[in-house]
Amino acid sequence: YGGAGLKLSAAAAILEEIQRAGCNGGGCHAQMYTMGTVLRHGNDAQKAKYLPKVATGELRLQAFGVTEPTSGTDTSSLKTRARRDGDHYIINGQKIWTSYANYADWIFCLVRTDPAAKKHDGISFILFDMTSKGVSTKPILLISGYSPFCETFFDNVRVPKSHVVGTVNRGWDVAKYLL
């Protein structure tokens, strides 16, 4: 898909060198999570569409929407919903500490697609454009004045069902290895 084909240990070494030089490797780290998830769990069409653009830098797939204000790091208690509407999902909710949401082109978001399911079921990963109608961000300024994190809001965001990565309602199977 246009990447260098390096192993995870090489990625760790690259991040270590970025940090050792006094820079922030967070943007690379976020991109590795999202890109790696598409590589391992995405279908062939998703891999062909997104990964070459990530590899060339044309697509910044850095925003990782998982943590929520009311559930924190208890990902299985997330409340952001994706309701099925024909060939689309309608997403409503909020994320906090969303990595690089104010810089990313797309977000990789964990949403509840079946609110009646057991706590660890009914969760899906979905990719969508940060410029979609109904998406807004509010940077969380750190003491340094730098803002790698945002509050991210979703108000009736319409996303094609083809943007679900992995199996619908089985996002926890993916998430438990990432978080």
- List pLDDT tens digits, range 60-104: 877 888 889 988 778 888 899 999 999 999 999 999 988 888 888
pLDDT at residue number 80: 95
What is the C-alpha separation between 129 and 57, in angstroms, rounded? 16
Q: Which residues contact 7 (CB under 8 A, 6 or more apart)?
A: none
What is the C-alpha separation between 26 and 15, in angstroms, rounded? 8
What is the C-alpha separation between 17 and 107, in angstroms, rounded? 26
pLDDT at residue number 179: 44
- List pLDDT tens digits, range 26-54: 666 666 667 777 888 889 999 899 888 88
Q: Which residues contact 67 (CB under 8 A, 6 or more apart)?
A: 73, 75, 95, 96, 97, 98
pTM for this structure?
A: 0.83
